[in-house]
Amino acid sequence: MPKKRNGVSRRDFIRNAALLSGGLAAVGVPGTVRGQTAGGAAAPPKLGAQLIGKLEGPELILDPAKWPTKFSEAPMLAELVKQGKLPPVTERIPKEPLVIKPVHEIGRYGGTWRRGFTGPGDSENGNRIVSADKLLFWEYTGTKHMPSVARQWLLGDDGRSVTLYLRKGHKWSDGKPFTADDFVFWYEDIYLNKDIVPTPHPDFLINGKSGVIK
């Protein structure tokens, strides 16, 4: 039987600690009893049931019929567009954009974002702010993968291959097309270049051998 302290079992404590990665505080409620299944076994608690506040986050709008048809220009970029140094926003986004429904409202440009760091070892703190967009990402509950730069993915039947589908019309910030050729270039000319990457990254190794990008 898991040891309890103030009505919270060690198992509950560990689960709540994992949920803290979502940025919400977790506490145990003394005197509460978990639900039970028909067989008498403890039923798994509902996700976020022991959090203070409501578990919420941005959602992706995957239905093209619900995508916006008009786009607003960022104020700091409008002048560059006016000067002809930057294409209009409608020419900078892909034909299949990543559309996100915000939690409460669309943000406003400008302002100052302040965030505290605990020290040199707090590297993940900064990574969450300045990290580049991922091909795939997590849904806000952290329980399933969602599209990001890639609009779709397909896992092979053998579980040894993944096919990524990029967004049509996606471009780099300089307006150049973003295609599968960019992945091949990175892998063959940068990652496999021993002068640049002398030691293979363990995340790209399978039984000690590097995977293949086609």
What total of structural domains would you count in the chain?
A: 1
User: Would the pLDDT of 203 be above 80?
Assistant: yes
Contact 109, 74 (CB under 8 A): yes
In this predicted structure, what is the pLDDT of residue 195? Answer: 95
Sign of CA dihedral 112, 118, 122, 125: negative
Q: Which pLDDT tens digit goes with each residue over 17-69?
A: 444 444 433 333 333 444 455 566 777 777 767 777 778 888 999 999 999 98
**24 belongs to a structural domain:** yes
Where does the chain show beta strands of DSSP type E? 4-5, 8-9, 59-60, 100-101, 136-138, 145-147, 150-155, 162-166, 205-206, 209-210
State the average pLDDT over residues 148-172: 91
**44 belongs to a structural domain:** yes
**176 belongs to a structural domain:** no
Tokens of 147: 């599209």
In this predicted structure, what is the pLDDT of residue 122? Answer: 81
| Domain limits for position 34 | 1-54
Q: Which pLDDT tens digit goes with each residue over 59-113?
A: 999 999 999 988 888 888 899 999 998 888 888 889 999 999 989 988 888 888 8
Tokens of 93: 């986004």
**49 belongs to a structural domain:** yes
Contact 153, 74 (CB under 8 A): no
User: Would the pLDDT of 16 be above 70?
Assistant: no
Tokens of 82: 């006016």
Q: What are phi and psi of 5, to 5 degrees?
A: -140, 120
**21 belongs to a structural domain:** yes
Instruction: Please state, in angstroms and rounded to a whole number, the distance separating the CA atoms of residues 162 and 67.
Output: 27
**156 belongs to a structural domain:** no
| Confidence bin at 153 (pLDDT 50/70/90) | very high
Taking the complete model, does pTM exceed 0.75, yes or no? no
Q: Is 53 helix (H, G, I), strand (E, B) or coil?
A: coil
**47 belongs to a structural domain:** yes
In this predicted structure, what is the pLDDT of residue 132? Answer: 67
State the average pLDDT over residues 125-138: 78
Instruction: Please state, in angstroms and rounded to a whole number, the distance separating the CA atoms of residues 119 and 101.
Output: 34
**174 belongs to a structural domain:** no
Mean pLDDT (the chain, rounded): 79
